[in-house]
Copies of this chain bind each other. A is one copy, B any other.
């Protein structure tokens, strides 16, 4: 079967980082190759163009991100606790990224999606697809919390959409302001939106 290689994986990792820390259009094929330690010929051996690589990288990212979300939103965890953990997870991730890259990066799907959605329809679709999963986790948790009488949210879908939009907005602002400060409100405000007390006590409203 010929030689094996992890160049494909290295390219996907490189591109994810470069798109996130910079932008899609400002990232060149040469740059990607250099970061991945891969030659041009290998790049085009694996991928037809930058957009193809981007799509593969999105699939890869989602594949590693999904189990983390599955754990956070595990049905074995109390519904509101899932949401609280997700908020803390986002916060921590942004703080880590800032540590590592020197600036706040926000949501990678939003960043990429905002930039490419008018130009790269294939990528746009993939991003929409992954984002839709994100709301689904929230919706399920909210429905469970409502069923358990922990919050009053008869329209779980609407509430999930609201909270999701709010989260995206905050992350976008965090990137634009290059500041974690605005994210501090996230857990508390999310719980206010849910109509629940914050730190722990989940009583019927």
Residues of A in contact with B (beta carbons under 8 Å apart): 21-26, 103, 105-106, 110-111, 113-119, 124, 127-128, 131, 158, 161-162, 164-170, 172-173, 175-178, 182, 185, 189, 193
List 14 additional contacts besides A23-B25, A106-B114; criterion CB under 8 Å: A21-B118, A23-B115, A25-B25, A113-B172, A114-B175, A115-B115, A117-B175, A117-B176, A127-B176, A128-B176, A131-B173, A162-B166, A165-B170, A168-B168
Taking the closest CB of chain B, its distance from the CB of A125, in whole angstroms, is: 10
Q: Is the CB of A165 within 8 A of B169?
A: yes
Q: Name the prevailing secondary structure of the A interface residues.
A: helix
Q: Is the CB of B169 within 8 A of A22?
A: no
Task: Determine which residue in A22, A116, A177 has the highest number of CB atoms from chain B within 10 A of its CB, and name it.
Answer: A177
Residues in chain B near residue A168, CB distance under 8 A: 168-169, 172-173
- Given A23-B25, A25-B25, A158-B185: A117 and B178 within 8 A (CB)? yes
Taking the closest CB of chain B, its distance from the CB of A92, in whole angstroms, is: 19
